[in-house]
Structure 1
Amino acid sequence: MDNLRKRTALFFEGNGEYRKTGHYIDIFLISLIMINVVAIVLESIASLAQQYKHEFLILELGSVIIFAIEYLLRLWSCVERAEYKSLDCGNFQRRLKYLLSPLALIDLMAILPTILMMFITFDLRFLRVLRLLRVFKLTRYSRAMQLLLQSFRDESSSLLAAFFIMAVVLILASCGIYLIEHAVQPDKFGSIPDAMWWAMATLTTVGYGDVVPVTALGRFFGGVITLLSMGMVAIPTGLLASSFSEQLRKRRIMFSDAVHECLHDGELDGKLDDAQLEHLENLRCKLGLSKQEANKAVKYQLSARTKNLYCRHCGERQD
């Protein structure tokens, strides 16, 4: 049973001998998720929903069964994954920790709406919105989404500070425009909460135009807020962009270090055995690096090793 559970974990992680099979399963699940998203969007059209009612129902039930099987198998085999196997606790605690992980919660949201529909009466429009959350399952297979989520985690404190500053500016802008415009436009700026709609649209540079200042002072104040908003929006954008780039750099360095260790441990100069190549390929897939990036790192480490093996003056091999 333990051997079967371990093979199941390798199967879903796409490691070892199951790498190709796991890749095909990932493609199948990605395709199924995209088909579901398209079907949910089309089902919102009343004529199509009525005409293809049974087809939509069969697709929904089939998808939920597949997603549920995937969820249960991942839950059962998660104790064999390295990050959970190393925990000093029982299998129940390991599975509980996995259940609370972001990816596991996303997998649960993919099947929960349909399961709840069997026991609780839902508004169908609300149910469709919940089912659209399945698109977040692509996070498991998308390198860009994984990098973005990691960027949010790493920059969480900085982002909170930036959003706090934006909240303060939002309140100040709302108070300012309220004092200037409430006497002229009591229907639009009759209170500070009403003025917050204009402040939010202006600070986010959206500018809907449904609520605008009409006095000269109000327009001048609105212009100042608009100029200020450009810098405010750039703060979280800059933080995420730099963190995204840093995550890419860290993954490349991690893979490069792994190549260096494999070459250092190898007995043959400039060659990697099958086990090392398998390890590097699994690491490449886990880090989400392209084959081009991986080959570049290998070539660089091979070149650096060759320079260290031979004297740059006489060309003789150094012991």
Structure 2
Amino acid sequence: MSKSENIKSRRIRAKLFNMVSVGVVDEPINRLYDVISIIALFLNLFSAFAITFNYMERNYGSLLLAIEAVTTFFFAIDYVLRLFTAPELYPKESERYAPVKYAASFTGVIDLISFLPYYMPFFFPRGTAVFKLFRVARILRLFRINSYYDQLNVITEVISRKKQQLMASVFIILILMMSASLCMYSVEHETQPEVFQNAFSGIWWSASTLLTIGYGDIYPRTVAGKILGIVIAFLGVGMVAIPTGIISAGFVEQYQRLKAIGEYTEEENIHFIRVRLGAADKWCDKKINEIGLPKDMMVVALQRGNDTIIPRGETVVKKNDLVVMCAEKTKDLQPIDLKEIVINEGHSWNGTAIRDIDISRQSFIFMIRRNGKALIPKGSLSLKAGDTVLIYGKHVQNENV
């Protein structure tokens, strides 16, 4: 493959990656694909549930089966596209290993089982009943809804933060289940040898008792067994409360953390700026009191090599110094939007001159970062893949005339 063909292929792959990625809405087709994905998911689950009703199967069975077939085919196409665009998802991995990494990931496995069991009976007719059972796993695709709604991600974050405590509580419950099963076997084996045949026969009883389900299909008959059952039932109430308390505390901590971050952002009235001086900068070899900063701005630190210097008026600023400045946030100005857009191969701005970009009149590009360097956004400057575009804009508020 020639270099031009390789670049064209990467651009196509990048555009497809933008399309299948959640939240990339720079083009209408990307937004449309998100909508289609959500609709297909809910239609697929609706048909799976609706066809279990005799009335729906009798009157709308063919329609429900058609919906299931179309939406499942969409899931298959979606999976193939995600495999193809995996190098964009894992840019640090090789193009051969990236699809394998995606396929082995949690989301990759969910995407696979959302459509594969549907087609397996065509290749293995004898396993139809088993594959129908696996098709129930497509409901796990609902986890993808987390990607569309940030609030649902709180659940994932809480479980991730508390996974060690949850694993410890589950381990304690397993130990209690094993101990309860062994104890119940010891006191009930002679009375109910057909029920408590060995030390593992009471696992079902201990699980239902400790988890406060209490089906009653297996129960102790001896006095010692009943007393032991009461003790284990009390322990079960405490054991179930442990993971519940951990998750509840995790939710409270997470929301308090988000609230604290939000309040800090609102109350913060100081802005800090860091500038690396080059040889052509006019501040080089000048004293700080000669720079002529505005009255509401001050230099708070200089980083020179590995040393941090607390500046005074007589301190001389030199080439390659990292100058840290601060200024008070002005509260009486109209709010400002600062946006940062990363240009990839498939972005519509890739290869476009700044003068030809159609953006709001209330916004303008004030900086381009390319390969770690800041570029002045001249009209003739063409954007490239890998550029970071910084956009400055005003909030336009509707006013009653």
- Is residue 64–residue 114 contact of structure 1 (8 Å, CA) maintained in 2? yes
Listed as ranges, the matches of 1:20-39 within 5 Å are: 22=30, 24-39=32-47
Q: Does 1:276 align with 2:372?
A: no
Higher normalized contact order (CA 8 Å, seq sep 6+, divided by chain length):
1
Seen in structure 2, the aligned counterparts of structure 1 residues 227 and 129 have a Cα distance that, compared at 3 Å, is same
Seen in structure 2, the aligned counterparts of structure 1 residues 208 and 80 have a Cα distance that, compared at 3 Å, is same
Secondary structure of 1:91's aligned partner: coil
1:272 CA drift (Å) = 5.7
- Is residue 181–residue 199 contact of structure 2 (8 Å, CA) maintained in 1? yes
Which residue of structure 2 aligns with residue 139 of structure 1?
143
Q: Does 1:161 align with 2:168?
A: yes
Looking at structure 2, the residues matched to 22 and 229 of structure 1 have their Cα atoms a distance apart, in angstroms, of 50
More displaced stretch, 226-235 vs 45-54: 45-54
- Is residue 139–residue 146 contact of structure 1 (8 Å, CA) maintained in 2? no
Which residue of structure 2 aligns with residue 99 of structure 1?
103
Seen in structure 2, the aligned counterparts of structure 1 residues 23 and 138 have a Cα distance that, compared at 3 Å, is farther
- Is residue 121–residue 127 contact of structure 2 (8 Å, CA) maintained in 1? no
Secondary structure of 1:239's aligned partner: helix
Listed as ranges, the matches of 1:75-154 within 5 Å are: 75-81=83-89, 84-85=90-91, 87=92, 89-142=93-146, 143=150, 146-154=153-161
Which residue of structure 2 aligns with residue 14 of structure 1?
23
Give 1:236's match in structure 2, choosing from 243, 256, 272. Answer: 243
More displaced stretch, 180-189 vs 165-174: 180-189
Looking at structure 1, the residues matched to 270 and 52 of structure 2 have their Cα atoms a distance apart, in angstroms, of 54
Counterpart of 1:114, as a letter, is Y
Looking at structure 2, the residues matched to 4 and 273 of structure 1 have their Cα atoms a distance apart, in angstroms, of 35
Seen in structure 2, the aligned counterparts of structure 1 residues 72 and 190 have a Cα distance that, compared at 3 Å, is closer
Which residue of structure 2 aligns with residue 213 of structure 1?
220
Counterpart of 1:135, as a letter, is I
Q: Does 1:226 align with 2:233?
A: yes
Secondary structure of 1:276's aligned partner: strand
Unaligned ranges ≥5, structure 2: 1-7, 274-325, 343-401
Secondary structure of 2:339's aligned partner: helix
Looking at structure 2, the residues matched to 247 and 273 of structure 1 have their Cα atoms a distance apart, in angstroms, of 29
Which residue of structure 2 aligns with residue 4 of structure 1?
12
1:255 CA drift (Å) = 7.5
Query: Highest CA radius of gyration, 1 or 2?
Result: 2
Q: Which has the higher strand share?
A: 2
- Is residue 118–residue 132 contact of structure 2 (8 Å, CA) maintained in 1? no
1:247 CA drift (Å) = 4.6
Looking at structure 2, the residues matched to 125 and 180 of structure 1 have their Cα atoms a distance apart, in angstroms, of 41
- Is residue 24–residue 31 contact of structure 2 (8 Å, CA) maintained in 1? no
- Is residue 26–residue 141 contact of structure 1 (8 Å, CA) maintained in 2? no
- Deviations 1:137-178, CA, capped at 9 Å, x for gaps: 121123566443444444333333222221211111112222
Looking at structure 1, the residues matched to 86 and 263 of structure 2 have their Cα atoms a distance apart, in angstroms, of 28
Which residue of structure 2 aligns with residue 313 of structure 1?
none
Looking at structure 2, the residues matched to 262 and 44 of structure 1 have their Cα atoms a distance apart, in angstroms, of 61
More displaced stretch, 193-202 vs 269-278: 269-278
1:251 CA drift (Å) = 5.8
Q: State percent identity of aligned pairs.
A: 26
Secondary structure of 1:13's aligned partner: coil
1:68 CA drift (Å) = 1.6
Counterpart of 1:95, as a letter, is P
Counterpart of 1:26, as a letter, is D
Seen in structure 2, the aligned counterparts of structure 1 residues 122 and 256 have a Cα distance that, compared at 3 Å, is farther
Secondary structure of 1:17's aligned partner: coil
Unaligned ranges ≥5, structure 1: 280-319
Seen in structure 2, the aligned counterparts of structure 1 residues 186 and 71 have a Cα distance that, compared at 3 Å, is same
Which residue of structure 1 aligns with residue 312 of structure 2?
none
1:47 CA drift (Å) = 7.2
- Is residue 202–residue 229 contact of structure 1 (8 Å, CA) maintained in 2? yes
Looking at structure 2, the residues matched to 92 and 51 of structure 1 have their Cα atoms a distance apart, in angstroms, of 48
Q: Does 1:55 align with 2:63?
A: yes
1:24 CA drift (Å) = 4.8
Looking at structure 2, the residues matched to 66 and 131 of structure 1 have their Cα atoms a distance apart, in angstroms, of 15
More displaced stretch, 254-263 vs 22-31: 254-263
Counterpart of 2:339, as a letter, is Q
- Is residue 40–residue 131 contact of structure 1 (8 Å, CA) maintained in 2? no
Secondary structure of 2:15's aligned partner: helix
Looking at structure 2, the residues matched to 204 and 64 of structure 1 have their Cα atoms a distance apart, in angstroms, of 37
More displaced stretch, 226-235 vs 265-274: 265-274
1:121 CA drift (Å) = 1.5
Pairwise CA RMSD of aligned residues? 3.5
Count how many residue pairs are aligned between Structure 1 and Structure 2: 274
